[in-house]
Structure 1
């Protein structure tokens, strides 16, 4: 079974809780509190493991919170490789206001990283034997804008396929400089890449344009209630969204990327892997906070998606 290496340069420990109502100045009593390992690549590794895939999560982690992050991954059975950093790993907060159903997310910027710490990530990618490398999440302070491109080049040099889910300069620089097998920008990010504001109806054509003009094999764009599109050598595939009862949208994109990448690594046709990703992204809507998707929900929704 091909192993999938995930890279998280700016991970978090996420605390999720409920509050009756959120107001300024007053103390906000929250209950209960759940703690999760977080950050894009960490979430991807958690979902791959839940689906039955082989994975390892590479994390830049520092301080007491970094130690907690490593322990939380171990408790969930997710193999990880910690690269120690001088800074303290960040803490994220997710608060669900039960009175309105609104969700508030507080995400700190995170610590600055050094060249030596980043080089340790590249060294691990070079020495690893995984068939797939997934880089997901924001670039930390101190990382050059082309660092994901360097990871892509290191993966390509040993024959691994590279998957990217990031934003801003890091995403643009990687698509300009490196070969990427699968990228997952959202609609806003896609618009920034093609140089114009987009509606969901324009996403398919814009994704196809992105593929044509870069060394990118597939572009997958999730559109919330408008479904999703996949652009690649075969053309553009659009799927509608499945209707479910929403608990939280947190982690839907990570769940999508994890399931699609796992499906591809298993040898599924790309259209089938895309449907599996759509099912996982929808399944994440059924759980609270950063709990992510459940295996049984993913495959139940996949059966519905496969009929579309």
Structure 2
């Protein structure tokens, strides 16, 4: 299996480098219509296409904030070729792992009348064992001791459930810190291996600890439990408009989200993670990185489609955040 580095953009070099891995990227198509009506042909407004997917969006965020990250991703078919062109146009350094299948698409429709957003995410292409192993090989070649490895997004058909656990193991073996952002059995397997940072939603955290989390204290206790278990050194629980919680060996803190006019939730969680790891790579402490992450998620939610936030927007929102609540 050939692995292609971008011929246009050099791989980034930095003291604490960041590498992201996306095995199931998606070409994000966004548009709008006045009203979504069953069985009707709905005329749409202007459309926009972005290169999406967890790890790629993390790298795009870091790029937008003024940092560097190497994005490793699998791509194939005509959709994959378009995807690569779009990412290169954003000057994101990348390594492409070719696959026989066609890169998937996702489709987002904003309903003008109600302000609701409808998201349709297609299943990814079937991977052969050789293809997913090539993704791991590309990652292993790119890991730098002391750096960060961010593996994010869903797993396409054919990729084993323990894939992200293998990613975490590779990072540990190479002296790097692993950040995993996925869900279900793949997330549970990665946490059984042990990771540096994990970013579950409330539903995902509830599944991990095996109980309903119906109070603020229950949320705090569950996040702290993952740290106590050794599943993750940092647990960033994202709660949408209810803010976010950060648990570590130093304790648990909570931040609200700054108020913004939300345009699109697509990519907001990835922006949160991108800002978090970028600040960590700069030597910021986890609490300072967490503040930037909360603001980056909000700033991205205020953008259309899958457009990522800018550093000035993040810094402006940081000035509005109160001190964290400590537990």
**Aligned residue for 1:10?**
24
State the 1:46 CA deviation. 0.3
Which of 90, 99, 108 in structure 2 is aligned with 1:94? 108
What secondary structure sits across from 1:141 in the alignment? Answer: coil
**Aligned residue for 2:210?**
195
| Structure 1 segments unaligned to the other structure (5+ residues) | none
Measure the CA separation in 2 of the matches of 1:91 and 1:225.
27
Task: Give the superposed CA RMSD.
Answer: 1.2
Taking the TM superposition and a 5 Å limit, the aligned residue runs for 1:251-266 are: 251-266=267-282
Taking the TM superposition and a 5 Å limit, the aligned residue runs for 1:264-303 are: 264-303=280-319
Q: Give the length in aligned residue pairs.
A: 307
**Aligned residue for 2:84?**
70
Measure the CA separation in 2 of the matches of 1:199 and 1:263.
31
**Aligned residue for 1:209?**
225
**Aligned residue for 2:43?**
29
What secondary structure sits across from 1:110 in the alignment? Answer: coil
Taking the TM superposition and a 5 Å limit, the aligned residue runs for 1:1-308 are: 1=14, 2-130=16-144, 131-176=147-192, 178-199=193-214, 201=216, 202-305=218-321
What secondary structure sits across from 1:113 in the alignment? Answer: coil
| Alignment deviations for residues 235-280 of structure 1 (CA, whole Å, 9 cap, x no partner) | 1011122222221222111110000010101100110000000010
- Structure with more of its chain in helix, by fraction: 1
Runs of 4+ residues over 3 Å off in structure 1: none
Measure the CA separation in 2 of the matches of 1:295 and 1:22.
35
What secondary structure sits across from 1:37 in the alignment? Answer: strand
Measure the CA separation in 2 of the matches of 1:241 and 1:277.
10
The answer on whether the counterparts of 2:30 and 2:109 sit within 8 Å (CA) in structure 1 is yes
What secondary structure sits across from 1:27 in the alignment? Answer: coil
| Structure 2 segments unaligned to the other structure (5+ residues) | 1-13
Larger CA deviation: 296-305 vs 54-63: 296-305
The answer on whether the counterparts of 1:242 and 1:305 sit within 8 Å (CA) in structure 2 is yes
Larger CA deviation: 22-31 vs 102-111: 22-31
Q: Could you state the TM-score of these two structures normalised by the residue count of structure 2?
A: 0.91
Measure the CA separation in 2 of the matches of 1:291 and 1:215.
32
What secondary structure sits across from 1:28 in the alignment? Answer: coil
The answer on whether the counterparts of 1:249 and 1:285 sit within 8 Å (CA) in structure 2 is yes
